[in-house]
A and B are shown apart, each in its own frame.
Chain A
Amino acid sequence: MITTRSLMLALTLVVSASAVATAQDARKQARPQVEFGITVAQRGLWQEAVFRWERAAEIDPTYAAAFNNLGIAYEQLGKFEQAGKAYEKALELEPQNLSIQQNFDLFKEINDRAKRNTSSSGS
């Protein structure tokens, strides 16, 4: 009985450890993509930045920074719906992150204005 329980515990530990290792591995792979995205975004190459950050988000879907940066890039490119979704995902992953929250708040102001324009153009 004790042996079975110990085995189960050991198995759980191994599975958890490998899950943590996989997550760390994903983050390790995604980080260079995020970093390169930042470098190109600072030079105004937003399409390339989007490509890099989308790639990072694919590799590590729990990487809040990748989604936050994607939100910024989509905003810059005028893709407001995608920007909103990216910021929401980033906040879902890191609800306490003040930088993401601030970006999202600023985005919402712009988005509201854009929405007003869209609705008024139909009148």
Chain B
Amino acid sequence: MTAPNGTRALRGVSLALAGATLAAAAACTSIYEVPIDTPIQAKLDVTPFSRVHVVGFISGGAEDVDANMETVRLLRSQLRTKSRLRVIEADPLPLQQVARDQAKGPATPGRDAAPAQADVPAGMAFPEKILDEKDLEAYEPLFANAAYWKKIGEEFQQPLIVTGTVIFRPHQASGIVTQEREVYDNFGRRTVVPMRVYMERKGYILRPKLVFIDGRTGAVLYQESYREERLYPTQQNVPALSSFFEQMDAVLPSFLNTLSTTRVRGSRTMLK
């Protein structure tokens, strides 16, 4: 089947026109990719403070990771390099004991730095071990105890105090996941195709709540909770500590943005 000469000629003209139009459009609209660094203001105004004290966390969950000590260490090291505040190097406070002492009342012998009784709701007992989020409820009044934090602030020249809770616990899940598989055809050509497979996976959940307290008044300035989760195939033996740091990595930018302006990198298209 052949097209009549007129039709062929018309098609040729149409193609040429379309080509010319495309070329003209490309010539008219020039685009330029440009990298940008957008500043995101800090969540907290920390100008009144020259020092920061990461005092410790009430933590629980996995036994093979000391979430309190690891979080203290990590946040201090980050603040040392990425914040203008001077980091106070002191032993973390035994906050779990402090909270228990405060709940017993002022007559209870305990640390000197626990002067005021915290408002623990009646009937709320401290759990033997902190395993998950609900076990932390009894400790919550500690963070609202302004008298206690003011006293800590006085001891360390009224810094910005960073404290809170950290739960890092094992987690298991099974279900259908999408995986990418390499497939080779008869000619040895490689393609990657998505495949849905049933998998048993285990991993960890990280739930830190960071509380920022004014060391001059003992008042809570700001608090933020995070939730991270990482699951790995059962045959992949990922150490708990490695998963902890992997998940903390995701939390750190937001933590640092609380205290200092951060810049978000991206790119935009400029037009002529």
Q: Report which of A38, A110, A121 forms a contact with B32, defined as CB distance below 8 A.
A: A38
With both beta carbons as reference points, the residue of chain A lying nearest to B221 in the complex is identified as A123
Q: Report which of B37, B222, B270, B272 forms a contact with A120, defined as CB distance below 8 A.
A: B222
Q: What 0/1 pattern do residues 26 to 37 of A give for CB contact below 8 A with B?
A: 000001001100
Q: B268 near A117 (CB under 8 angstroms)?
A: no
Residues of A within 8 A of B34 (CB): 41-42, 72
Nearest-neighbour CB distance to chain B for A117, whole angstroms, equals: 5
Chain A binding surface SS class: helix
Bound: A103/B37 CA distance, A: 14
Query: Does A20 count as interface, using CB distance less than 8 angstroms?
Result: no
With both beta carbons as reference points, the residue of chain A lying nearest to B36 in the complex is identified as A76
Q: B270 near A69 (CB under 8 angstroms)?
A: yes
Residues of B within 8 A of A72 (CB): 34, 36, 268, 270
Q: A117 near B222 (CB under 8 angstroms)?
A: no
Interface residues of B in 227-272 (CB under 8 A from A): 257, 264, 266, 268-272
Q: B269 near A114 (CB under 8 angstroms)?
A: no
Bound: A16/B38 CA distance, A: 43
Bound: A28/B266 CA distance, A: 31
Q: Chain B: residues with CB nearer than 8 A to chain A?
A: 31-32, 34, 36-45, 222, 224, 257, 264, 266, 268-272
Q: Chain A: residues with CB nearer than 8 A to chain B?
A: 31, 34-35, 38, 41-42, 64-65, 68-69, 72, 75-76, 78, 97, 99-100, 102-103, 106, 110, 113-114, 117-118, 120-121, 123
